[in-house]
Amino acid sequence: MASWIENTAWWHIYPLGFLGAEKESLDKEGPSFSRLDKLEPWLKYMKELGCNGLLLAPIFASQTHGYDTIDHYSIDSRLGTDGDFERLIENAKTLGIKVVLDGVFNHVGRQFAPFEDVRTLKQDSKYANWFHIDWDKTNNEDSFSYRNFEGHHQLVTLNHDNPEVADYVIEVMTYWLGKGIDGWRLDAAYAVPAHFWHKTISKIKEEFPHCWFLGEVIHGDYAQIAKHTGFDSITQYELWKAIWSALNDRNFFELAHALARHNQFAEAFLPNTFIGNHDVTRIASQLKNFKHLDLAIAILGTVPGVPSIYAGDEQAYTGIKEHRSGGDDDIRTEFPENPSGFLEEGWTTHKKYQKMLAFRRENPWLARARVNSLLLQNTIFIYEVVADNEQAIVALNCSDTDATISDHAILSKLSHCKTPPALGNITSNWQIKANNTVVWLR
C-alpha cells in the first residue's frame, strides 16, 4: 500500500452540487462550463484546514447525479473540460495535495455507448455480454430486461464475469492514473464480485504500485473483504454509525464495541474513518445535541485509520438525507464562490476541525494505533490510543454535568502525560466539563 496514505487527511467534495451544476446532462454538442477552475481557491482553503488529499465524487460524463456514468473518459461538460481537469491536478500537486477520483464501475447509465449499442442491435451487439440481460422479458422501453443496481432502472449493472469488462475498467483507471491522480474510490464496491476487484487492482498496481484504492462497503466483515479484493482501505460505516448513535443515545457501550471491531479491521488494513459523506445526513443534523459535535470530532481525530472530512461539515453545515427522488439535494448543496462567503458562525466549528487535524498531523502514528478502553460508562468513556512507544488518552463526557476522574489506574497513566492537554481543558481536580472532551499525550 502507498506509504503516503498514513499522513493523509481527505477533504471530500461532491463537485456537481458543490459547483452548482445543472441537475441533468447538457446537450452533447453544447458548450462546457469551466466550473472545475472554481475549485482553485478551495485548494488553499482545504490545506489551511489541515487536509492534504482531495477526494472527488464523480466528475465523468453522466446523465444526472454522476453515478449514472455514460463516458468514463470524458469530464462532465457541466464541470468542464480535460484542460480544466489538468489544471486542477497541476494546482493540487503544487500545493502537495493528493487527488482521488470516484469510479463507478458496478453500473452505468442507460446512455453508456456499449449499452446503447445493445439497445440498437440486441443479441447481435458485440457488447451483449457486457450486461446481465434476459432476452425473454421486456420492460416499457426495451424489448428485453436487464439487471440494475438496487432497483434503479436507470443504473445498468455490468457483467463482471466478462473479461472484456475487467479489461475496460483497468484501461479506464490506468488512463486517469496516467493523468496524475493518486487513487480511486470504488463506488458500490460491495456489489461487485471480489475476484473482479482482485484482478483489476492487482493488474493496475503492476504499473502504479503507489496508487490507493478505497472500497465503498456498508456492511460485512471488512477484514475479509479487504483480503479478497485487494482494497487498501474500506469505508468504516460501522464506526460512523456508532459515533453519532452512541452520542444521541448517551450510550458509550455502543462506541466501545465498534472500536473493538475497529481494532480488528485496522490490523488488516487502514480503514477510512468519517463522520459525514455525500450519502448521509450531515453530522450537525444527525446529532440531537449540537454540543456533541466536539466529541464526534475528537473521536474522528484520535482513532486509527485515514480520516475524511465531507466539505461543509467543518463549517457546521446542516442537511438531511431523504429516501426519495432528489433526497440528496440537502446534503449536496452549492458552495459560495470562495471561502469568504461562509457565514461567520461556521468558522467556530472550522477552528475545531483545524485543531483536530493539526493534532493528527503532528502525531502520524495515530493512523496505525490501537484503542484500549480504560473506563466505560453510559455517558463517560476514557480510552487510550497506543502505537509502539506513543500514547494518547481520550476522555469523553456526553452528559450535562461535569465528571471527575477518580480511578487511580487512570490517574497514574495521566501523571505521565504532558500538560496542558493536547486538546480540551481539565480542571485541577480532574473534572471533564459537561458535553466535552479532553485528549492527553504522553
**pLDDT in the model for residue 383:** 98
Average pLDDT over residues 172-178: 98
Contacts of residue 324, defined as CB under 8 A and 6 or more positions apart, other chains included, come to none
**pLDDT in the model for residue 31:** 62
Q: What tens digit of pLDDT does each residue of 194-229 get?
A: 999 999 999 999 999 999 999 999 999 999 999 999
Q: What tens digit of pLDDT does each residue of 134-148 get?
A: 999 887 688 899 999
215: alpha, beta or left, given left = phi > 0 and alpha = psi -120 to 50? Answer: beta
Contacts of residue 171, defined as CB under 8 A and 6 or more positions apart, other chains included, come to none
Average pLDDT over residues 364-382: 97
Reference 15, options 75, 71, 73; nearest CA is 75
pTM of the model: 0.96
The DSSP result for 227-291, as a single string, is: HHH--SEEB-HHHHHHHHHHHHHT-HHHHHHHHHHHHHHHHHS--EEES--TTS--HHHH-SSGG
**pLDDT in the model for residue 28:** 63
Question: Which of 21-35, 99-113, 164-178 shows the lowest per-residue confidence on average (mean pLDDT)?
Answer: 21-35
* C-alpha cell, 299: 473521536
Q: Does the pLDDT at position 38 exceed 70? A: yes
Average pLDDT of the residues of the chain: 96
**Which CATH class for the 371-441 domain?**
mainly beta
Average pLDDT over residues 160-173: 98
Task: Enumerate the domain spans of the chain.
Answer: 3-108+159-367, 109-158, 371-441
Read off the amino acid at residue 105: F
Average pLDDT over residues 176-183: 98
Buried residues in 295-331 as b, exposed as e (16+ CB within 10 A): bbbbbbbbbbbbbbbbbbbbbbbbbebeeeeeebebb
> With bands split at pLDDT 50, 70 and 90, how would you rate the model's confidence at 303?
very high
Percentage of the chain exceeding pLDDT 70: 98
On the question of a common fold for 109-158 and 371-441, the answer reads no
Q: Is 72 helix (H, G, I), strand (E, B) or coil?
A: strand
Residue 380 and residue 374: Cα distance in Å, rounded?
11
**pLDDT in the model for residue 32:** 72
Q: Where are the alpha helices (DSSP H) in 162-207?
A: 163-178, 194-207
Residue 90 and residue 84: Cα distance in Å, rounded?
10
* C-alpha cell, 340: 469568504
**pLDDT in the model for residue 3:** 85
**If one looks up domain 109-158 in CATH, what number appears?**
3.90.400.10
Percentage of the chain exceeding pLDDT 90: 92
**pLDDT in the model for residue 305:** 98
**Which CATH class for the 3-108+159-367 domain?**
alpha beta
Q: What tens digit of pLDDT does each residue of 374-386 get?
A: 999 999 999 999 9
**pLDDT in the model for residue 414:** 93
**pLDDT in the model for residue 325:** 85
Q: Is 258 helix (H, G, I), strand (E, B) or coil?
A: helix
Q: What tens digit of pLDDT does each residue of 106-115 get?
A: 999 999 999 9
